[in-house]
Structure 1
């Protein structure tokens, strides 16, 4: 294994490249969103080829989005369909993605509609559970060193697998701290969680975001609220409640995303740390269990949770308790190949394409991950 020189990799618990080659940075670009394409895989086939059974109360749609995050896509799709659709997988934000969504009961409201980078097309009715088996990726890698990229692709295709790290999207790229918010929550320090959520600016954030966070860090809450750009409306909503009640728990509950997201991000970070420990020892189990309680942790995970000083992945104040996480230690990289500038491969459900890219490109994650 080789160590990554990038701080964000260490910060997110994945300090190692798996293939033991002395590869330097490739110097490539991945143009987004058009150069990062994701097609959901259903029962081993692309969702674009899915054919519903023709009967049942599930109205199935093909949803295509371009450069739209999941929350926004669901809000737009809800307006188009007349109700919030069910999804079987969450897709990349800064990408072109295709996936299945469905509504239940009543009659299909639309056959085809689009709004704000989201398009839905009715495929038909279905009467059984849809099996999500993974995702297929087509990623354009722009580089002056295509021959070197092809050599690396060949090496990875021979290896066929990589450590199943949780990738950058799980934690944030411009602001990679969802796991540290989760850590503060489970340690019972909600004030620290608030400070991490609202303050502590990162250098890569837009200037308006940094101004808001700097004002918050200086205790100038009303000024921060006045300076908050529209894109930070969730943070403004939390800060408004903090100003009103002075209660960190009440303020945190005003965040529009379920707060369990942060605890689960922290659990994902713990998984990355555990996996790295096993890789260091060259004794990697088939699966790794990160339990909700440190008292039930074993092996490297017991050591990691003890070192983190966390006994329970839970918060009584916020009524959160994580479930035990069981995840494969390695992911299979299926059908990996290079066609011109386009890198193509498939991954199982819950696996991250950016983990494949980091292994091949060996460059600053900010240049390719999002």
Structure 2
């Protein structure tokens, strides 16, 4: 358990304070759709899955080199329904091959055949129905496959995986929740809770980050947002409050959820500060739960957030503080 020295600047920004071991592989790993594969694991039994009929159509989405929101925009355009009516259980990295599932009320679709998409970066297939609208609790996990072409590091990789399997890792929310090229999703969420539309607009439109493309930085400095989808939509609305509400609805409260996730990461840090790894196995509430104040009170003071304001925006679910991979292999 090694605090304080953050391995990467993104760890600091996202609140990822602790890591398990100093061991690392002596190789260069650049994440891409060829070497990083992720697939959602759904509790199909408890959502009433059927290939015959149900209340919600299930789409299997296989995407490469596009983020989840771009995938949803493609599907929305194809079937002519708003993105907010396409229900997903999580976000998947842009630089990956990702298999995830979307759920649409069947009464919104006239012809199921219209749901099929087979393009270079996205394949969409209808695989069946569910009886209920799935919730986060029905996402039982994700299956990750990482391809590292460095056979000399096999033994070290095995040692690291053994340590992770035996001791586990803090169940942090990772980079994808906050953004990699622009790691500010949680910052935007905080400004919403504070009621600071002015700071939200400045962060969304003007703030720049080192991993952004040069063209993106130039466009932000010049106030040119034609190729920045959400920035364009926000900036073209003359009423900032209305623009913010529209954007939040479109993204299903992504910004608020990201800030909740950031606070949860800080909570795990606090638990490890006081108890080490030993207390992580418990399930802890997200900030939106009615019994969460005792967990987050001191963190909210540092964040300058009033608890009664926070719970007006945030949702409640519980998350285990310790992550251990199931059936890992190398």
Q: Greater shift after overlay, 130-139 or 271-280?
A: 130-139
Whether 1:123 and 2:127 are equivalent positions in the alignment is yes
Does the CA contact (< 8 Å) of 2:52 and 2:129 recur in 1? yes
Q: Go from structure 1 to structure 2 and tell me whether the alpha carbon gap of 1:90 and 1:233 turns closer, same or farther (over 3 Å shift).
A: closer
The C-alpha deviation readout for 1:51-102, integer Å capped at 9, x for no partner, is: 8342345443432222221122123234445656443444332211223334
Classify the secondary structure of the residue corresponding to 1:234.
Answer: helix
Higher relative contact order (CA 8 A, sep 6+): 1
Does the CA contact (< 8 Å) of 1:178 and 1:262 recur in 2? yes
Matches within 5 A, 1:1-370: 1-3=1-3, 4-17=6-19, 19=20, 21-24=21-24, 26-43=26-43, 52-81=50-79, 83=81, 85-103=86-104, 104-105=106-107, 106-110=110-114, 112-125=116-129, 127=131, 131-143=138-150, 145-159=153-167, 161-215=168-222, 224-225=223-224, 228-230=225-227, 232-241=228-237, 244=238, 248-253=240-245, 255=247, 257-258=250-251, 260-282=253-275, 284=279, 286-292=282-288, 297-299=293-295, 301-312=296-307, 314=309, 321-338=313-330
Rounded to whole Å, the distance in 1 between the matches of 2:192 and 2:129 is 42
Does the CA contact (< 8 Å) of 1:113 and 1:120 recur in 2? yes
Give the Å deviation of 1:8: 2.0
Rounded to whole Å, the distance in 2 between the matches of 1:249 and 1:177 is 19
Give the Å deviation of 1:254: 5.2
From the CA coordinates, give the structure whose radius of gyration is larger. Answer: 1
Classify the secondary structure of the residue corresponding to 2:169.
Answer: strand
Rounded to whole Å, the distance in 1 between the matches of 2:11 and 2:290 is 25
The C-alpha deviation readout for 1:161-202, integer Å capped at 9, x for no partner, is: 211111001111111111122222322322122111111211
Does the CA contact (< 8 Å) of 1:37 and 1:97 recur in 2? yes
Q: Go from structure 1 to structure 2 and tell me whether the alpha carbon gap of 1:304 and 1:127 turns closer, same or farther (over 3 Å shift).
A: closer
Give the Å deviation of 1:334: 0.9
The C-alpha deviation readout for 1:329-368, integer Å capped at 9, x for no partner, is: 1123111121xxxxxxxxxxxxxxxxxxxxxxxxxxxxxx
Q: Go from structure 1 to structure 2 and tell me whether the alpha carbon gap of 1:210 and 1:112 turns closer, same or farther (over 3 Å shift).
A: closer
Q: Greater shift after overlay, 81-90 or 193-202?
A: 81-90
Does the CA contact (< 8 Å) of 2:79 and 2:114 recur in 1? yes
TM-score (norm 2): 0.81
Q: When you count strand as a share of all residues, which structure comes out higher?
A: 1
Q: What runs of 5+ residues in structure 1 fail to find an aligned partner?
A: 216-223, 339-370
The C-alpha deviation readout for 1:204-245, integer Å capped at 9, x for no partner, is: 111121113334xxxxxxxx23xx351x1321332233xx45
Does the CA contact (< 8 Å) of 1:30 and 1:140 recur in 2? no
Rounded to whole Å, the distance in 1 between the matches of 2:233 and 2:80 is 26
TM-score (norm 1): 0.73
Classify the secondary structure of the residue corresponding to 1:252.
Answer: helix
Give the Å deviation of 1:33: 1.0
